[in-house]
Amino acid sequence: MRDDQASERLEDLLARAHQQLGIAVHDGLMGSGGPPELRDPDQMLGRLLAAAHRQTGDAVAGRLARRGRRAPRERGVSGTAAPSERLLMRPASVRLKYREQALDCARRYWPLDAVGVIGDAVRTVQEVIAKLEEEMLPDAARGRLQQVSSGLGQVLALPPPANLQPPLSGFDYVEEVEDFLATCAWRLVTATRRSKQLLDNELVLHFCTPEFSWLGALEVSQDLADDLDLAYREALSLSRAVTVVEDASTDFRGADLESADLDGVDLEGIRWDVSTEWPAHWQERIWRASLAVDSGQGELIVGAEPRDSTVAVDI
């Protein structure tokens, strides 16, 4: 067969294959209700990216939520001690002496569950995005977004960062606790304020205008979701910082407190074990005021009032 005949044969086969493929595609489309609605390519790309972003955000939020407040502490880079580790390295007698001030500071910076508040905001905005991708107006969207704004406003009421200047010898313990928490709170407030401004000044307005723009509302919602993701991570960071302060002010297992001055110190809630060394004249009183914790590790916790009998020694 000559080359020109072979080429013609190949072209004829390709033409018939193309024709048969066209018939199959046409029959498939008509059998499923007709050709799909043509859409703007940019809009389609935006929808695909939005769907991928939402699915990724759901996975990340779920993973972080499962970790909870008491997530493993992260170490600092370059071998340096992270702030949480520096707090725990302070002498036990110092942490005990200033535990009330440290716990008061932790309560000031965690007056509400910021993780829960921002987590609810993230879920609400993701639901709005899902509806907008389907070009469906979310039910009572404006009211739900205003509730989100109100919750973010509560987060913005956190204490402003204090302008602490460390002396040459460094922060004392209470100042270090304050600086540690204030730094995390400042990042959270900054991210939350940016989210609230975008929500109030742009997204809510889309639901108030007569000429509603699906694409405009979707783009703003996606930007808001990104900002809220950052705020959620900062809320988790502050939550972990509060947990670190609480642990440093409560966990005295194995600590040497033999020379500590316990007069006037609120010991209720302190966790300790048989390796904790107490002042000699406080030992019996501590034992009588403590209850064993069912942890399997010989842990005890100091109660509010002395007990009628001491805890068994073989805990």
Instruction: For the chain, give the mean pLDDT.
Output: 77
Classify residue 78 as left (phi > 0), alpha (psi -120 to 50) or beta.
left
Residue 306: C-alpha distances to residues 8, 154, 260, 269 (Å) = 103, 40, 20, 13
Rounded Cα distance between 218 and 132, Å, is 6
In sequence order, what are the residues at sequence separation of 6 or more whose Cβ sits closer than 8 angstroms to the Cβ of residue 94?
Answer: 173
Residue 75 within any structural domain of the chain: no
Residues 100, 229 within the same domain? yes
Residue 171 within any structural domain of the chain: yes
**pLDDT range class, residue 314, cuts 50, 70, 90:** very low
Residue 302 within any structural domain of the chain: yes
Residue 36 within any structural domain of the chain: no
Residues 152, 126 within the same domain? yes
Domain range for 273:
252-315
Residues 208, 272 within the same domain? no
Residues 261, 244 within the same domain? no
> Residue 243: its pLDDT value, please?
93
Residues 58, 207 within the same domain? yes
Residue 153 within any structural domain of the chain: yes
Query: Do 180 and 83 meet the contact criterion of CB atoms below 8 Å apart?
Result: yes
Q: Residue 172: is it exposed, middle or buried by C-beta count within 10 angstroms (0-12/13-18/19+)?
A: middle
Residues 236, 102 within the same domain? yes
Query: Do 179 and 171 meet the contact criterion of CB atoms below 8 Å apart?
Result: yes
Residue 192 within any structural domain of the chain: yes
Choose the final residue of a domain: 248, 272, 288.
248
Rounded Cα distance between 247 and 141, Å, is 41
Residues 22, 163 within the same domain? no
Residues 145, 275 within the same domain? no
> Residue 276: its pLDDT value, please?
93
> Residue 286: its pLDDT value, please?
92
State what percent of residues in the chain have pLDDT above 70. Answer: 65
What residues pair up with 290 in beta bridges, in sequence order?
302
Residue 6 within any structural domain of the chain: yes
Residues 292, 156 within the same domain? no
Count structural domains, the chain.
3
Residues 114, 184 within the same domain? yes
- With a cut of 80, say whether residue 41 has pLDDT above it: no
What residues pair up with 301 in beta bridges, in sequence order?
271, 291
**pLDDT range class, residue 30, cuts 50, 70, 90:** low
The overall pTM is greater than 0.75 = no
In sequence order, what are the residues at sequence separation of 6 or more whose Cβ sits closer than 8 angstroms to the Cβ of residue 226?
Answer: 53
- The 3-state DSSP class for residue 292 equals strand
Residues 271, 210 within the same domain? no
- With a cut of 70, say whether residue 27 has pLDDT above it: no
Residues 310, 273 within the same domain? yes
Residue 127 within any structural domain of the chain: yes
